[in-house]
Amino acid sequence: MSDDATAPGEGARGRLVELEVGAVAHGGHCVARLEGRVVFVRHTLPGERVVARLTEAADGAGFWRADAVEVLEASPDRVAPACPVAGPGGCGGCDWQHVDLAAQRRLKADVLREQMHRLAGLDVDARVEEVPVPAAAGTTPEDAARGLGWRTRVAYAVDAGGRLGFRAHREHRVVPVERCPIATPGVVDLGLPAVRWPGWRSVEAVVPGTGDDALVVAEPRPGARRPPRVPDVPAATSVATTSPRGPRQPPGPVSRVRGRTWVREEVRGSGFRVTGAGFWQVHPGAGEALTAAVLEALAPRPGEAALDLYSGAGLLTRALATAVGERGRVTAVEGDARAVADARRNLHDVAGLTLVHGPVERVLEERAGLEADGEPRADVVVLDPPRTGARARVVAAVAALRPRAVAYVACDPAALARDVATFADHGYVLRGLRAFDLFPQTHHLESVALLEPR
């Protein structure tokens, strides 16, 4: 190491520093300190001593970022990564391939507890539950035990040479891959990285948990007057394309190249059509785990009015409708037009159902479709917002309906904690919390929180 490695100044990015690593933090890294400054370090574990390369180190910044490039004192929870590009400078997707699977779940529970304490002022008893990979996914028991072979949907970026890969952490740079070890065998067997994809911006492989035929959805680079040629993919695979979109634009229309433009997922004996690369949980056991957790939390009663917000293709909507029965009613609200169209097909046989297309906050504030006997009514509510959370407007509008119970499905512990704090301002308190490891080898987790009136 250079002499100035422990006292970096102007232009410190790229320098090597020796760090004593502290607690895990939200986002897939751990916290260290360098002369009073916080440094968020990836590819390490609490208690380790490492040499790290500074990756973001601007003078005046409140904190810096770094990658551990050499381990001087290793944690007993450290293991060899299953993927050759999972380390520093490689793929930004798997944060914790260097961590034993049981330890990953302990770290995720630590993060959930810390976020709930810091952002919601609550001390919770959290643990992260394992979700088995169903046999239909084709994953071997050995891989499942290592947290591999679970991901049914893989979105590849395409580099300038047409090679498939994944973005580096906090970079646009594409890291080419030959295979992804967390993908299901069905995704790996498509062999998409083995061919070049010139002219394409992204390629998503979808192999449903049912084991049905796969779908490949490709997006061309912006500016193309016509979609480029689709390379050869296995004959039984459906292929579709979408139009280029900006970073905050919704997905464009899906155009059929061959086969069909959708896949069929199945949960509890019911089929769900999902168009293109529309939203569906990427872990094949997620649908059952989350449905069971939501129903356990809410305990919906026959004849009740249920509200399903951010309802997607209708997974939890159907579960609610079954629970409240023919005397009950369910209102589902979703902002994505393609998901609403899928839900109409998926739920065509459900009595007492109202599907509302529109932004959740606007629908709630206008209370369109929420009336029962002339008055807004929701006995139970499911919230399953995007990673950014429901936020204050939606939380306030839900609380104004005075449901007896709210089940909040969250993929980000910080967003969940902020929204739980906002619910408390409106008279709702946290009564239960479960967390599920639906994203092994990454820092992500899924939680189901139960909120009830104080």
pLDDT of residue 226: 79
Closest CA to 442 of 178, 1, 99, 133: 99
Torsion angles phi and psi, residue 3, rounded to 5: -60, -30
* CA end-to-end span of the chain: 57
| CA 221 to chain CA centroid, nearest Å | 25
Average pLDDT, the chain: 94
Give the pLDDT mean for 233-246: 89
When comparing pLDDT for 283 and 11, which is higher?
283
CA distance 220 to 50: 42
User: Would the pLDDT of 247 be above 80?
Assistant: no
Cα Rg, the chain, nearest whole Å: 23
Q: What are the structure tokens assigned to 56, written together? A: 């973001």
132-178 tens-digit pLDDT: 999 889 999 999 999 999 999 999 999 999 999 999 999 999 999 99
User: Would the pLDDT of 5 be above 50?
Assistant: no
pLDDT of residue 7: 47
* Proportion of the chain above pLDDT 70, given as a percent: 95
Cα dihedral 145, 138, 282, 134 sign: negative
CA distance 98 to 303: 50
138-261 has the same fold as 3-77? yes
User: Would the pLDDT of 433 be above 70?
Assistant: yes
64-78 tens-digit pLDDT: 999 999 999 999 999
pLDDT of residue 368: 63
User: Would the pLDDT of 1 be above 70?
Assistant: no
pLDDT of residue 212: 81
To the question of whether residue 67 is assigned a binding role by annotation, the answer is no
- The beta-strand segments (E) located in 268-324 are 270-275, 305-309
127: left (phi over 0), alpha (psi -120 to 50) or beta: beta
Fold annotation for 138-261: OB fold (Dihydrolipoamide Acetyltransferase, E2P) (2.40.50)
Q: What are the structure tokens assigned to 309, written together? A: 């917000």
Lowest mean pLDDT segment, chosen from 202-216, 340-354, 406-420: 202-216
* Proportion of the chain above pLDDT 90, given as a percent: 87
pLDDT of residue 453: 98
Torsion angles phi and psi, residue 60, rounded to 5: 90, -10
User: Would the pLDDT of 189 be above 70?
Assistant: yes
User: Would the pLDDT of 451 be above 70?
Assistant: yes
Give the pLDDT mean for 398-419: 97
Indicate the burial class of 17 (C-beta count within 10 angstroms; 0-12, 13-18, 19 or more): buried
Give the pLDDT mean for 270-299: 96
pLDDT of residue 394: 98
114-123 tens-digit pLDDT: 999 999 999 9
Q: Which residues are catalytic?
A: 411
Strand order in the sheet with 446-453: 128-130, 428-437, 446-453, 405-410, 380-383, 305-309, 329-334, 353-357
Domain boundaries, the chain: 3-77, 138-261
| CA 34 to chain CA centroid, nearest Å | 32
341-362 tens-digit pLDDT: 999 999 999 999 999 999 999 9
| CA 402 to chain CA centroid, nearest Å | 29
302-322 tens-digit pLDDT: 999 999 999 999 999 999 999
List of residues 6+ apart from 300 with CB closer than 8 A = 306, 320, 323, 324, 328, 379, 380
Give the pLDDT mean for 420-434: 98
Q: What is the DSSP letter of 386?
A: -
Confidence of residue 367 (pLDDT cuts 50, 70, 90): confident
To the question of whether residue 100 is assigned a binding role by annotation, the answer is no
Confidence of residue 243 (pLDDT cuts 50, 70, 90): confident
pLDDT of residue 253: 86
Q: What are the structure tokens assigned to 216, written together? A: 């490949």
To the question of whether residue 97 is assigned a binding role by annotation, the answer is no
Q: Is the pTM of this model over 0.75?
A: yes
To the question of whether residue 384 is assigned a binding role by annotation, the answer is yes
Alpha carbons within 13 angstroms on the beta-carbon side of residue 288 total 14
CA distance 302 to 238: 41
Confidence of residue 252 (pLDDT cuts 50, 70, 90): confident
User: Would the pLDDT of 8 be above 60?
Assistant: no
User: Would the pLDDT of 91 be above 90?
Assistant: yes
Cβ–Cβ under 8 Å, residues 408 and 435: no
The CATH homologous superfamily of the domain defined by 3-77 = Nucleic acid-binding proteins (2.40.50.140)
